Amino acid sequence: MNVYVADALFLAASLAYLAATFLFSRILLGTSRAPAWLGSRLIALGASLQGVHVIVWSLVLHACPVKGIHFPMSVFAVILCVAYLSMRTRYRIDVVGAFVAPLALTSLLASRFVGGGTQMVDQAPRLKSALLPVHVAANLVGIALFSLAFGAATLYLVQEHLLKAKRIEGLFQRLPPLDALDRAEHRFLLAGFPLLTIGILIGTLWARQVEMGGAADILRAAFGYLTWLLIAGVLLLRAAAGWRGRRAAYGTIAGFGFAMLVLILYLLREANPGAHGHVAGMP
Amino acid sequence: MIVVVGVSHKTAPIEVREKLSVGADVLPEVLARLSKRSELKEVMFLSTCNRVEVLADTSSDSGQAALRAIREGLAELVGDSPEHLEGYLYDKSGHDAVRHIFRVAASLDSMVLGEPQILGQVKDAYDAAVAAGTLRNFLGRCVHRAFTVAKRVRTETALGAGTVSISSVAVDLARKIFGDLSDHTVLLVGAGEMAEAAARSLGKGARSIRVCNRSVERAAHLAAQFGGGAAPLDKLEEELLLSDVVVTSTGSRTFVVTREMVKRVMKARRGRTLFFIDIAVPRNVDPEIHTKIDNCYVYNVDDLETEVAFGLKARQNEVAAAEKIVGEELAEFESWARGLNVSPTIVALRAKTKAVLQAELERTLAGRLKHLTEGDRAALQQMMDSSVNKLLHAPTTRLKIAASQEDGADLVRAAVHLFDLPEGPPPEIEKAPRDSPQGADDAHADDDDRLH
């Protein structure tokens, strides 16, 4: 019975994210005069439904939501939406929902369909550690904040391009103020960076404990460190040399790109679990 | 015949307009040079942010020689050949020229439709031409009439109501860059009328307002009105460090804010965004700052045009009403202009009639009627004056009526021929009316800012 309820919640959350994606696309294209907060409400609805879905599945599977990668992908979407919803009014970045909604939808769908089945994730005993949930949780929240920074940075670049091109009608009017985007991007990076640092430190420690050393693990770790270095560089250059605006936005986008690569590598590992002692599974 | 040659925001970019613009200091010299041309009887030079025009009256019927003379004069002004300006210049003559002058004064041809500054600027140009002695009876009357048109448009229509001004557009743009302006400082470079208008718009939300001007006293006076601070122009670089939105409106003919200056400032600002609104013509801010320096944005009057154009759509009904007023006044002016031809004839007819009768009366009083007392002589004089008035009342009225009609010139020519009359003297020129003590005085400030 609970499985059906969870499926219904999954479907409803997906539809809410889809509707938000559709609405934000139309707002940005200028084909809808609907206010951006309406899209934010749809994201809130989707996140609420997905939150309940995560709880129901946790109960059904008796699983920790931050173990493995599939289930955390779903949790990531919820964290992303919550972070967005709690910051959107403060920074006047409703339109960043145009990134949040499709990303949340993708994460939700990936959590179910990429490399998955309907079985429970079962980690190899040698990989079990109390550090793992902390590593995953820190990284999830960190990447969620970087995702918001990415959205703000992308919109900043669009807005900045329009302003430099002196095209101050249409899309320019629908996007948030330039400085608000720059400020939001910086704050999201600042908030996400310590979490990423914790995630990487714990990840390194854990990898040593379980003696990981395959090529995929090294590649994943390398991208993780590169992400950290990029974000650290962006923050440092901004503080020390006044790198803001366009340069900071490019750095943020690159950092987010590497973070996403790490996430994708995790997902791919789950799709090919044999080599890593995992059993593919999906809530 | 009245002719107009010029460039405006509709025909030429700011790069061309700023080359042709003439400051108040050199205006008398330019007027004197133009008026030396034999083709031009009267000349007036209008130079604003959005237009540079030469208005002239010419004795030539076709006006072609006058148009050519003005084109050459403008080319001389920029040290270029007339051909290089060809693509940008427009010209109008006769009926079209008068209509154009009326429309310009009524702000129907402005970038910001219905804005009030243009009238003050036309009045300044008029006063300058009167002072230079280049404006007399016909063109002078025409421009004077344009003031009436502008006043009627302002009082009888809502054209100026809710005007989307350059300042308000600039404020909107500043908000799209900075969001809330309450954490940001606005710097006004120049302390003229437009700087004041900008301060009024930006001052509402900004954290503070600073004024930087060549004359510190004037800067302090303006800053005091908005509770801000003042600084001399040589402290501009320091002021740029503290400011986020910079409105420039000085009368300088060279860049007041240079690329090198902003490069240094941006380094010291650690990349914090700097937004320039350059409402001066010639421009005060090097446009390369916009393209070459990160986090710096420079917008001039032309860049704000698109935004301002929205105001035009919203006031189309008012435009129609204003155009109707222009049409009415144009008809009246043309009627007056035709009447101008008959005035010398009437004056001459009366003078001749009176002179003939006076001579006869004096001859009679010196002969057969020399015994008359002073009282009797005065009575005779009064009788004669009254007779002249009664006798000439009908011809005078008919000539005036004929003059207001298109084909009235025939009757005037007939009267001149029949009575062998000479041409009469031109009417006196009037001073430009002023609605308020503001306007020209403000615009003549050393850091004069001009829009339109």
pLDDT value of residue B64: 84
pLDDT digit string, tens, across residues B137-151: 889 999 999 999 999
Beta-carbon contacts of A98 under 8 Å, excluding residues fewer than 6 positions away, are: A21, A24, A25, A27, A28, A39, A151, A155
Cβ of residue B295 closer than 8 Å to a chain A Cβ: yes
Query: CA of B270 to nearest chain A CA: how many angstroms apart?
Result: 4
Residue owning tokens 């793992």: A132
Predicted confidence band of residue B58 (pLDDT cuts 50, 70, 90):
confident
Query: How confident is the model over B64-91, as pLDDT tens digits?
Result: 888 888 988 888 888 777 777 888 999 9
CATH of residue B190: 3.40.50.720
B214-252 pLDDT, tens digit per residue, is 989 889 988 888 888 899 999 999 999 999 999 998 888
Determine the average pLDDT of the residues in B97-110: 93
Residues of B in contact with A173 (CB under 8 A): 176
- The number of distinct structural domains making up chain B is 3
- Residue B153: give its domain's CATH number: 3.30.460.30
Helix segments in B79-165, DSSP class H: 82-85, 95-105, 117-132, 138-156
Judge contact between B403 and B412, C-beta under 8 A.
yes
Q: Based on the fold, state whether residues B255 and B324 are members of the same structural domain.
A: no
In this complex, the residue of B176, B267, B297 whose CB is nearest that of residue A177 is B176
Beta bridge partners of B213: B232
| One domain for residues B8 and B97 | yes
Residue B34: pLDDT over 50: yes
* Highest mean pLDDT: which range of A52-61, A208-217, B233-242: B233-242
C-alpha to C-alpha distance for A76 and A68, rounded to whole angstroms: 12
Mean pLDDT score, B391-414: 78
Interface size, chain A vs chain B, as Cβ–Cβ contacts under 8 Å:
52
The domain spans of chain A are 2-117+125-276
- Same-domain check for residues B91 and B25: yes
User: Are B177 and A173 a contacting pair at CB < 8 A?
Assistant: no
- Better-predicted residue by pLDDT, A119 or A208: A208
Domain assignment present for B255: yes
The residue whose two tokens read 């910086």 is: A186
Enumerate the residues of chain B whose CB falls inside 8 A of the CB of residue A242. Answer: 266-267, 269-272
B303 vs A: CB within 8 A: yes
Q: Closest partner residue to B178 among A169, A179, A241, by Cβ?
A: A179
pLDDT value at position B79? 79
Domain containing B206 equals: 166-312
Query: Given an 8 Å threshold on Cβ–Cβ distance, is B297 in contact with A164?
Result: yes
pLDDT at residue A10 tops 80? yes
Residue B149 is predicted with a pLDDT of 94
Question: Would the CB atoms of A177 and B175 count as touching at under 8 Å?
Answer: yes
Query: Are residues B28 and B111 located together in one domain of the fold?
Result: yes
Inter-chain residue contact B179 with A176, CB threshold 8 Å: yes
Host H or E run for residue B16: helix B14-20
Domain co-membership, B321 together with B301: no
CB atoms within 10 A of CB B53: 27
**Residue B242: C-alpha distances to residues B184, B260, B266 (Å):** 9, 17, 11
B199 and B283 share one domain: yes
The answer to whether residue B315 neighbours chain A at the CB level (below 8 Å) is no
Are B242 and B300 in a shared domain? yes
Strand partners, B210: B187, B229
Q: What is the pLDDT of residue A119?
A: 47
Helices B166-178 & B305-314 angle (0-180, nearest 10)? 120
Residues paired with residue B186 on neighbouring β-strands, in sequence order: B209, B245
At B111 the pLDDT is: 79
Same domain, B107 and B195: no
- Residues B342, B414: one domain? yes
pLDDT at B449 over 50: no
A16 pLDDT tier (thresholds 50, 70, 90): very high
Please calculate the CA angle B253-B259-B263 and round it to the nearest 5 degrees. Answer: 150
Among A54, A212, A213, A16, which Cα is nearest to A129's? A212
Cα of B437 to nearest chain A Cα, Å? 37
Residue of B75, B64, B66 whose CA lies nearest to B30: B75
Q: Is the pLDDT of residue B443 over 50?
A: no
The answer to whether position B425 is within a domain reads no
Q: Which of A89, A93, A168, A175 to mutate to test the interface with B (most CBs of B within 10 A)?
A: A168
**Contact flag A164-B306 (C-beta cutoff 8 Å):** no
Residues of B with catalytic annotation?
A: 49
Residues of A in contact with B307 (CB under 8 A): 168-169
Distances (CA, A) of A101 to A41, A84, A90, A141: 11, 10, 19, 17
Buried b (16+ CB within 10 A) or exposed e, B252-270: beebbbbbebbeebbeebe
Q: What are phi and psi of B396, to 5 degrees?
A: -60, -50
SS3 B45: strand
Pairing of strands B51-58, B40-47: antiparallel
Chain B partners of A179 at a C-beta cutoff of 8 Å? 177-179, 273
Residue B436 lies in a domain: no
- Do B68 and B24 contact (CB within 8 A), yes or no? no
What is the four-CA torsion angle of B235, B236, B238, B241, rounded to 10 degrees?
170
Q: Is the separation of the CB atoms in A270 and A242 below 8 Å? A: no
Chain A residues touching B270 at Cβ < 8 A: 241-242, 244
Longest pairwise C-alpha distance within chain A: 60
Q: B239 vs A6, A119, B235, B263, CA distance in Å?
A: 62, 67, 6, 14
In angstroms, how far is CA B313 from the centroid of its own chain?
A: 25
**Among candidate residues B334, B368, B402, the one where a domain is terminated:** B334
pLDDT above 70 as % of chain B: 88
Q: Given this model, what pLDDT does residue A127 score?
A: 56
Give the per-residue pLDDT at B62: 62
A3 versus B254: the higher-pLDDT residue is B254
Instruction: Decide: helix, strand or coil at residue A122.
Output: strand
| Tokens, residue A223 | 């991208």
Q: Report ipTM (2 d.p.).
A: 0.82
Helix A2-29 with A97-113: angle, nearest 10 deg = 150
Residues of chain B with C-beta less than 8 angstroms from the C-beta of A90? none
Helix, coil or strand: residue B268: helix
Do B37 and B137 reside in the same domain of the chain? yes
What is the arithmetic mean of pLDDT over B122-132?
Answer: 93
The mean pLDDT of B195-220, rounded to a whole number, is 85
Shared-domain flag, residues B42 and B150: yes
Q: Does one domain contain both B322 and B351?
A: no
For residues A176 and A90, give the distance between their C-alpha atoms in angstroms, rounded to a whole number.
12
What is the reported pLDDT for B407?
65
What pLDDT is stored for residue B442 in this prediction?
Answer: 37
